[in-house]
């Protein structure tokens, strides 16, 4: 880690040269959130495959071609890969580090690399100590699930997790959002539904496949990532994890149904009390009054909402819960910016 950068993290008023690599769904929200969160930006550079101009919220941003030398003089580089996106950080990530830039990567290329901390700021900020200039953002579903699970794990130690995700199309990127919208319009007009992004119609359907299937385990890459990343973030590989990742016809915000078994008893009331004070978590739990987390309410919100908390009748020391969070904000862009904010604050 460059000494001149590490020496400035505690200077709150210092401004930083920042670049965003990639300007799709996640990259666009990174730019928006840098403004919204008043990140101390001295200069903002957008890097992509081709030179052009992008307009975000009425502001024109010049886009430069990404290359190793483009990172010279940069303090932070946010690599904005969407779910499973590869390429940019593989070829340019460590090149940026060599030039004195701190890389925060939203792609999945280096999450399990032992050199690279995998960080959710509310959960494991200590993992940032002694970083080597390259930090990874976890998978969106992993972040959203662990926001409510981590405080419970700290209190009663998790033995087993069974999760089913309900993942919005924005996780696949802007073309998937356009496809869902186009299919809904075509269906309403009685026309054939266009399909290019997904192998099946996504409008009025659910697809039990997120990621790809690269081995004979029957697990998708998204399901494998949730298990391995949970182990790394919580620092406990003994937790047994089974999950099914499903794509649903929702524009934005992922939701997850979770059955969790603990080593020690944890009552519903105790869990609610812990979650009510957990940073980055909002307790939304009054099912009798139809109050519970929903993606339509968490889209464009910083916090992950959790509710439907009840005893798991299938095991001892078990709870069932439901959570929802913005996969592009907390699940990607926001989490990355929060990591940089922690580094700047010197925490």
Residue-wise DSSP of 222-267: HHHHHHHHHHHHHT-TT-EEEEEEEE-S-SS-EEEEEEEEESS---
Name the catalytic one among 19, 131, 254, 323: 254
Using a 10 angstrom Cβ sphere, with 0-12 exposed, 13-18 middle and 19 or more buried, the burial of residue 165 is buried
Task: Using alpha carbons only, give the angle 280, 293, 173 rounded to the nearest 5 degrees.
Answer: 80
Residue 40 to residue 260: CA distance in whole angstroms: 40
Pairing of strands 240-247, 158-167: parallel
Name the catalytic one among 19, 140, 245, 323: 140
CB 247 within 8 A of CB 210: yes
Which single residue is written with the structure tokens 């929802």? Answer: 324
**Which residues have a Cβ under 8 Å from the Cβ of 225 and sit 6 or more positions away?**
108, 111, 139, 142, 211
| Count of C-beta atoms within a 10 Å radius of residue 284 | 20
Q: What angle do the packed helices 140-156 and 268-276 form, to 10 degrees?
A: 120
Locate the DSSP E strands across 26-136: 41-48, 52-56, 59-65, 76-79, 102-105, 134-136
- Sheet with 76-79: list strands edge to edge: 52-56, 59-65, 41-48, 16-21, 76-79, 102-105, 134-136
* Structure tokens, 89: 């950080």
Nearest to 299 by CA among 248, 254, 253, 331: 253
CB 91 within 8 A of CB 21: no
* Structure tokens, 139: 């998978």
| Count of C-beta atoms within a 10 Å radius of residue 75 | 25
Active site residue 254: yes
Active site residue 315: no
Cα 247 from chain centroid (whole Å): 16
Q: Which residues are catalytic?
A: 140, 254
């Amino acid at each position: 880690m460059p000494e001149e950068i590490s020496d400035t993290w505690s200077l709150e008023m210092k401004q930083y040269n920042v670049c965003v690599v990639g300007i799709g769904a996640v990259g666009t929200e990174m730019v928006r959130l840098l403004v919204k969160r008043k990140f101390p930006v001295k200069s903002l550079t957008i890097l992509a495959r081709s030179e052009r101009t992008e307009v975000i919220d009425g502001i024109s941003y010049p886009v430069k071609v990404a290359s190793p030398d483009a990172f010279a003089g940069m303090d932070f580089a946010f690599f904005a890969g969407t779910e499973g996106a590869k390429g940019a950080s593989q070829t340019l990530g460590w090149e940026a580090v060599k030039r004195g830039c701190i890389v925060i990567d939203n792609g999945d290329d280096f999450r399990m690399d032992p050199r690279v901390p995998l960080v959710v700021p509310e959960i494991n900020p200590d993992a940032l100590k002694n970083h080597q200039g390259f930090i990874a953002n976890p998978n969106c579903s992993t972040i959203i699930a662990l926001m409510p699970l981590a405080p419970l794990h700290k209190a009663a130690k998790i033995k087993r997790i069974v999760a089913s995700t309900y993942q919005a199309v924005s996780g696949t990127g802007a073309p998937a959002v356009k496809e869902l919208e186009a299919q809904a319009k075509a269906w309403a007009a009685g026309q054939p539904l266009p399909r290019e992004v997904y192998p099946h119609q996504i409008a009025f359907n659910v697809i039990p496949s997120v990621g790809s299937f690269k081995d004979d385990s029957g697990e998708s890459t998204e399901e494998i990532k949730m298990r391995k990343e949970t182990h790394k973030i919580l620092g406990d590989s003994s937790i047994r994890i089974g999950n099914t990742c499903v794509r649903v016809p929702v524009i934005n915000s992922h939701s997850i149904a979770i059955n969790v078994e603990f080593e020690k008893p944890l009552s519903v009331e105790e869990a609610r009390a812990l979650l009510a004070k957990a940073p980055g978590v909002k307790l939304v739990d009054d099912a009798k009054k139809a109050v519970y987390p929903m993606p339509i309410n968490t889209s464009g919100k910083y916090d992950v909402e959790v509710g439907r908390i009840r005893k798991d009748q299938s095991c001892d020391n078990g709870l069932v819960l439901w959570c929802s969070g913005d996969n592009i904000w907390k699940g990607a862009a926001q989490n990355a910016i929060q990591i940089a904010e922690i580094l700047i604050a010197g925490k």
